[in-house]
Amino acid sequence: MNKPEKLNMRTSNLADNNFAALAAMFPNAVTETIDENGEVVRAIDADILAQEINTHVVSGKEERYQFTWPDKKKSVLLANAPIAAALRPCREESVDFDNTENLYIEGDNLDVLKLLRETYLNRVKMIYIDPPYNTGKDFIYEDDFAEKTGEFLRRDGQYDDQGNRLTPNLESNGRFHTDWLNMIYPRLRVARDLLTEDGVIFISIDDNEVENLKKICNEVFGSTNFIDCITWNTRVPKNDNKGLGNIHQYVLVYVKQAKFNRQFMMPKDGLDEVFELLDKMKKQRVPIPEAEEELKKFYNKKGYDRGITLYNALDENYQPWGKINMSWPNSDTFGPTYDVLHPATRKPTKKPDRGWRWNQETFNNHLDYNNVIERHDGSFICGNIWFAKDENTQPSSIKYLRDVGKMLLRTIISLKSDGGVELEGIFEGKSYFSNPKPTSLLRILINSIEEKEGIFLDFFSGSATTAHAVMQLNAEDGGKRKFIMVQLPEEKSTL
């Protein structure tokens, strides 16, 4: 016999029901505003709602392009407000205190950033942060704008040493986006001041706030300094994503000054395996045509990036090279046009539609008609230029894989999200941190800027993966990178 259902002794909240109904019909009208008591509450934008149900333009607030939210002006003031605080060294908890140039700082990160600005203004080469994603399950800083300290501390909650409250940001609290925006905005404002003029910031985020974060960063750093949004394929799907297997997060990339034309690079994955295979075939004296076929099969099996698979031809020493297109790269303009003679037929070869990439003098410097090599497939090598069997195919320049061990950082990075596994290995199977980033991701981002020295900052350091990655890279390439990590004080425990 089934148990009777438990009676609900309360009637439904009609305001909640009505709000939900309107939100379902007109999601673009859902917003947050400040009521007569100064509290941030959920709301429906009357002007937008009126426009949605009318067939003509409804007059209302002046239309303009803007991005704002309740308390934004106070958030700006918070970023600029001075503080009365100082950093206190903990020599007894430090390692080689007098000589190390690395810093691990415990405290509210907004206060710490303001203090660091006094000493590290324009000195930080790179910032990486992994702030709370505002999932409704994590905790965010609640910076107090209005209450006096005594009133603030009487409220229940979790606090850092400075009395700043950590609170779960639930979607039902009416300030879901507002609280998160008020938290992240002043911290990014201060962080920008720390960057060198050619500095860069990487920010991890997911779908919950990626649009708002990009708008904030466009305001703080300038939209012209937006580089790209990297999609990190975590390979492991989440099971709570509304019917889809979500396997991605994002990393927003901004620079302080785009005029420096920074190039973000990454090592080509698989180079060691490729050269190991070629060395093996060279020792076995596999004929070049067969070796090239084996190399192509190996590429297909491994699924490498085109930055490697392009290099599928071999010279007599089994060194892989590829054919590089010589067409003018800009689709809006035209390059120089001139004749290039085929080394065998001595007839002009096919020209690119928009002209050559190089001027004629540069092209001639790469040609050597006195030393022409005919390949096994009937094509020709003439200096550093490849020619087909006849003049009907456009020639290409030759580039060796050994000379291009790096490529531009890809906007899709596929790495298993194994940061938790890494930490469990360190802490004997115990899990002390939620969703830590893998060291491999941080290594790619840090290594992408190529400088091997400078200051690297993370002011949401958590498990200190950024510090771990910095030390690993320094050990491998002899770099002199220094780090500054900032994190709320953790409860002391015995591991």
- Give the pLDDT means over successive 10-residue stretches in the chain (495 positions): 54 74 79 80 81 71 75 85 83 68 90 93 97 74 47 40 51 72 93 96 94 94 94 83 84 95 92 96 97 97 92 97 96 95 97 96 97 97 98 97 92 73 42 65 95 96 92 95 87 47
Q: Domain 73-264+409-487 belongs to what topology?
A: Rossmann fold (3.40.50)
| The pLDDT value given to residue 56 | 73
| The pLDDT value given to residue 380 | 98
| The pLDDT value given to residue 428 | 44
In 365-409, DSSP assigns E strands to 372-374, 380-382, 385-387, 396-400, 406-408
Tell whether pTM > 0.75. yes
CA terminus-to-terminus distance, the chain? 50
| The pLDDT value given to residue 163 | 43
Domain ranges of the chain: 14-64, 73-264+409-487, 271-408
Using the 8-state DSSP alphabet, how is residue 327 labeled?
A: B
Residues 6+ apart with CB under 8 A from 487: 104, 105, 106, 109, 460, 461, 462, 464
Euclidean distance between CA atoms 149 and 144, whole angstroms: 9
Euclidean distance between CA atoms 296 and 273, whole angstroms: 13
